[in-house]
Amino acid sequence: MELPLAELEIDAYLISVPTPTVLGRVDLSCVRDAASAVGRALWHHPAWPVVAVRSTVPPGTTEEVVIPILEDVSGRVGGRDFGVCVNPEFLRARSADADFMAPRVIVIGALDARSEIALRRLYSWWTDVPVIATSLRTAEATKYVANLFNATKISFFNEMHEVLTRLGADPDLAARAVSLGAEGMWNPAYGTQGRAPFAGACLPKDTLGFLGVLEEEGLASLAPIIRAVVEVNDRVARTARPLELDLKLPPAPSTSDVVVVPDKHEASVRT
């Protein structure tokens, strides 16, 4: 891969190449090739451009793979002579161009403040799009978390489709109702606080109760995701910090006080 010799007006190099999974491992060969090509361009660059990794790469790749290649090939030093960022793509295959032009969020993981400022300048056209600035590793992880969540959601509803069909319920209508009614579907922040197990009046009893129903019907083997949900929640509950509830609880009552607590607050337990 060869890039034209850099000129002064080139502000940024965006590395957006395939990172296929081969035999269960992420293949970074295209990323390495792209970093080498950018490094050769940097060797000739008369100014201070920024290199942004947009490919899906494991946390640590930019620090441990990309930057060393850039520095070795260019003879320059990241931060001092060029900027480095991770700027993950959140694009759908069927509408990648449109999604790029209308981003829902811009994530910038930066080597340093100057790198962040340089990439922010490139996105200055999108004044109404939230920008999340973070470290290189966190930005890399963000794309994996997004894809893993999407995959898990799809698998969950596939699991429910089979289970509900076997129970004589309509899985499509159920999914439609859930998409409108479940807080986890319409509240983007719901359930995203780490180290905070679900609790409340409904979630613990309903996950265990539904598993019990499936066991009685001989269908428990069809619900590995639900069982994993319970196991993960139990594990986190053993080590988690106390929950930071949205609900403002009253002071501890004296022996003569009576406190009435509404019975539907599990939706506020994890937000």
Give the rounded distance of the alpha carbon of 32 from its chain centre: 24
Amino acid letter, residue 121:
R
**12, 133, 202, 236: which one is catalytic?**
202
d(C-alpha 184, C-alpha 214), whole Å: 23
Q: How many CB atoms lie within 10 A of CB 87?
A: 22
Three-state SS for 31-88 is HHHHHHHHHHHHHHCCCCCEEEECCCCCCCHHHHHHHHHHHHHHCCCECCCEEEEECC
d(C-alpha 20, C-alpha 57), whole Å: 10
Tally of residues, the chain: 271
Q: Would you give the end-to-end CA distance of the chain in angstroms?
A: 46
Q: Which two tokens stand for residue 98?
A: 């449109």
**Among all chains, which residue has been given the structure tokens 């001989």?**
218
Amino acid letter, residue 173:
L
If residue 178 lies in a helix (H) or strand (E), which one and from where to where?
helix 171-181
Annotated active-site residue 30? The verdict is no
d(C-alpha 105, C-alpha 254), whole Å: 48
DSSP state letter for 149: H
d(C-alpha 129, C-alpha 101), whole Å: 11
- Of 56, 58, 61, nearest in space to 84 by CA: 61
Which residues participate in catalysis according to the annotation?
202
